[in-house]
Structure 1
Amino acid sequence: MHIGEAAQHTGTTPRLLRYYEQKGLLVPGRSENGYREYDENALGRIVQIRDLLQAGLPTRLIQQILPCISTPHSSIRFSGLTPEMVALLEAEQARLTTRIDCLTRNRDAIADYLAALRETNGQQEHTPGRTEEASV
């Protein structure tokens, strides 16, 4: 499929797919007329790249780890793994854990704030993750 179709299937834009290619994250095939062509494997990789970017990983790190996480664990290639890369991955894992903890605290604080507002306004409603029923 061409770039527009690939973008639509993966919830991205053609511009973003060209950016992924420019950064070395994605290498689409080319048709005889030079158009980019994306197969099912490329679509999966696009979604994976998008998810990693949304998680906060920089493209330079994604480029380094993508070959390892794009393959089944039994066939991971460790030939390029250096102590620096291990340290970089461990630091990124710690950063993500800290971010997840912060997001969890903020989500819970917002849920508590909304519950208090609803209770104050007499509009107690069921909120996701809570078991209280609205009073009748």
Structure 2
Amino acid sequence: MRISDASRISGVSARSLRYYEDEGLIVPGRCGNGFRDYCRSTVDRVLVIRSLLESGLPVRLIRDVLPSLTDGAGAGTDAVCAEFLHEVRSYRDRLAARIAVLSEQQAALDVYLREARRTDP
């Protein structure tokens, strides 16, 4: 199928599909005229990518683990999955730490604004 069809079916823009290709996340086929040709398995892979990106995972991590998530079971799949889960937990922990810092900053700004209202004539 052409990129417009893959975009419509997956709900991902054609621009995003090109980005996924540039990042090595997908490899669509090519027609004789040079147009991209997306098969159903590539569209399915796009849906996995979109889900992982919406979860906040970085492209680097997705690129590293995507083959084992979409290409079926193979040698070392359990080790890859364990490593992936470790990376996801680590990413989540870093995200939680950033959220905590932002929450503290927000609370400090709330205090500042309350104090500013008390002294505002």
TM-score between both structures, scaled by the size of structure 2? 0.67
Structure number having the greater helix percentage = 2
Segments of 5+ residues of structure 1 without an aligned counterpart are: 103-136
Mark the CA change 1:15 to 1:76 in structure 2 (over 3 Å): closer, same or farther.
same
CA distance in 2, matches of 1:94, 1:13: 30
Residue 70 of structure 1: CA displacement?
A: 0.7
Query: 2:63 maps to which residue?
Result: 63
CA RMSD across the alignment: 2.7
CA distance in 2, matches of 1:77, 1:35: 34
Residue 13 of structure 1: CA displacement?
A: 0.6
Query: 1:35 maps to which residue?
Result: 35
Deviations 1:39-68 (A, max 9, x none): 110110010000010011111111110011
Q: Is residue 2:5 matched to residue 1:5?
A: yes
Q: Which amino acid aligns with 1:35?
A: F
The one of the two structures with greater contact order (alpha-carbon pairs below 8 A, sep at least 6) is: 2
Deviations 1:6-45 (A, max 9, x none): 0010001100000000000000000000000001101100
Query: 1:26 maps to which residue?
Result: 26
Residue 96 of structure 1: CA displacement?
A: 3.9
Deviations 1:65-123 (A, max 9, x none): 00111133xx23429x68xx92x6403235448979x9xxxxxxxxxxxxxxxxxxxxx
Aligned-residue sequence identity (percent) comes to: 36
